[in-house]
Structure 1
């Protein structure tokens, strides 16, 4: 299986972080979503070149009245389309979603060629390329980093968390929305990983959020919130919420997730005062805990 040295791959990020990526074999530029609810609409796709010769398939859900851009990273083995339930809500609120298909996805045609280390390093490169693309094609729009599970770790890195790969935060990322987490991965996350996470961050998890072999105590998902630099951090914990909460939440819980995440992005990504007021007065119903620091 492919396993190129981690830091050889990551050195490429320094070249990519502020360079726009040109689409290769791209479809026509995504048009405004015509369907009333883009949850039922397919994404447009572009292919972006990676520095190692790979082509990165990127799903784009274009907001009709775009105000910002969400760079979304899926969970290990997942795919962007699996998250359309929440992504559609963000699109409706004016956030275009741009989401790469990572090499660890079950839908990636070359998945068998990459091991776990390569999955980590190629994700970092993927997201650097995609942010460059977003800066080029959505110039002037604020960027939000979001993700689920392994993808949430990527979004936290984009926001400033320092892993074994070193500091790879992007100052253009105005806010982070992290669903679950990858846990405190040995050899990747250290005691000071989140100390440099100063970007406003919303962490969403549940007290049944376990991952066999990786997270045996749901409290591990609190680490980004508890250990980050204080200020502009929020944590929502749902009673009974498991690792697939973002996809399987019942309607009342899902509505709260939508409200909190969109107001968080509007507050810190767009500087919208009304959203900040709603966020500051948001209270949790029975079965949900809400913490701020």
Structure 2
């Protein structure tokens, strides 16, 4: 894989039929215009977003050799589904099913994008997500949601997924605010069985209104999961981690192109090394961060 950006082709909406979901699943696919044996990253957006968000990540990954698939979940503002919709209590679960549906539908997606047929490497698949999307992605890596009785929900680990990038993933449900307890019962994760390799990215200034704890809440997925894991803590970063949903959008309260560039570099290096075991890019990127006289973040691994 080259470090210089490649020309990217993008197709949307690609539609995967989903009759029991109430809405067919709309997906955006971005891929390098050339090359074969391309690894796949399935990206889950944060609350309210859609397949059209997160260009700083999706475009960067695609330009460096990944096929990036972005489904639009039912909570997307583009769909306008009211809170009273009977599916609302299950959306957290339908989101996970959306990612599984994408993996089941890779043949359809490949055929729908001009020139992509026969170029995917189905043995090299990763998931990624931001905020609620990170929780969605984490389920395919082995994380579970605890019910009111403390019993874990169904195991939705997907053996096709080899690694993950979890951006601003919320922590344990022991210190939720009353609002979160009442409205977001799925915010009770267990990371005990999240065994797949993952890079967790947290901002040390990410103060959530869903938890009474401080920004260290977002380090729980690293602390409470088995290895191999790495934790990138970004200095001064809030929930958008410098602007990964997009620059100049309402959610970006901490705009920092340099911070986003660091996330781009490290996530790309991590994904390559996780999916291509001989790749040394991750070690190189880690060393570069450690030797940076004015680093934008810190990294630890287990």
- 1:142 alignment partner, SS class: strand
- Bigger fraction of residues in helix: 1
The yes-or-no answer on 1:90 pairing with 2:61 is yes
The number of equivalent residue pairs is 255
1:189 is displaced (CA, Å) by: 5.4
Which residue is 1:119 aligned to?
Answer: 91
Q: Which of 95, 100, 103 is matched with 1:131 structurally?
A: 103
1:125 is displaced (CA, Å) by: 1.5
Mapped partners of 2:82, 2:47: distance in 1: 11
User: Against the structure 1 CA distance between its residues 253 and 63, is the aligned structure 2 distance closer, same or farther, given a 3 Å change threshold?
Assistant: same
1:58 is displaced (CA, Å) by: 0.8
Alpha-carbon contact 2:56-2:260 (below 8 Å) kept: no
- 1:57 alignment partner, SS class: strand
1:238 is displaced (CA, Å) by: 1.2
Deviates more, 1:167-176 or 1:265-274: 265-274
Which residue is 2:30 aligned to?
Answer: 61
Q: Which of 241, 256, 259 is matched with 1:250 structurally?
A: 256
- 1:283 alignment partner, SS class: helix
The yes-or-no answer on 1:49 pairing with 2:58 is no
1:139 is displaced (CA, Å) by: 5.4
Deviates more, 1:89-98 or 1:215-224: 215-224
1:130 is displaced (CA, Å) by: 0.7
TM-score (norm 2): 0.76
Residues 217-241 of structure 1: per-residue CA shift (max 9 Å, x gap): 211111110011122x111111210
Task: Report 1:198-217 matches (<5 A).
Answer: 198-214=195-211, 216-217=213-214
Residues 252-282 of structure 1: per-residue CA shift (max 9 Å, x gap): 2222211110111111112242324324534
Mapped partners of 2:273, 2:10: distance in 1: 28
Alpha-carbon contact 2:50-2:72 (below 8 Å) kept: yes
Which residue is 1:76 aligned to?
Answer: 47
1:118 is displaced (CA, Å) by: 2.2
Alpha-carbon contact 2:40-2:121 (below 8 Å) kept: no
Task: Report 1:87-236 matches (<5 A).
Answer: 87-112=58-83, 113=85, 116-134=88-106, 137=110, 138=120, 140-164=122-146, 165-185=153-173, 187-188=185-186, 193-214=190-211, 216-231=213-228, 233-236=229-232
Alpha-carbon contact 1:175-1:269 (below 8 Å) kept: yes
Superposition CA RMSD, Å: 2.5
Mapped partners of 2:25, 2:212: distance in 1: 29
1:120 is displaced (CA, Å) by: 0.7
Mapped partners of 1:239, 1:208: distance in 2: 7
User: Against the structure 1 CA distance between its residues 190 and 82, is the aligned structure 2 distance closer, same or farther, given a 3 Å change threshold?
Assistant: closer
User: Against the structure 1 CA distance between its residues 92 and 141, is the aligned structure 2 distance closer, same or farther, given a 3 Å change threshold?
Assistant: farther
- 1:253 alignment partner, SS class: helix
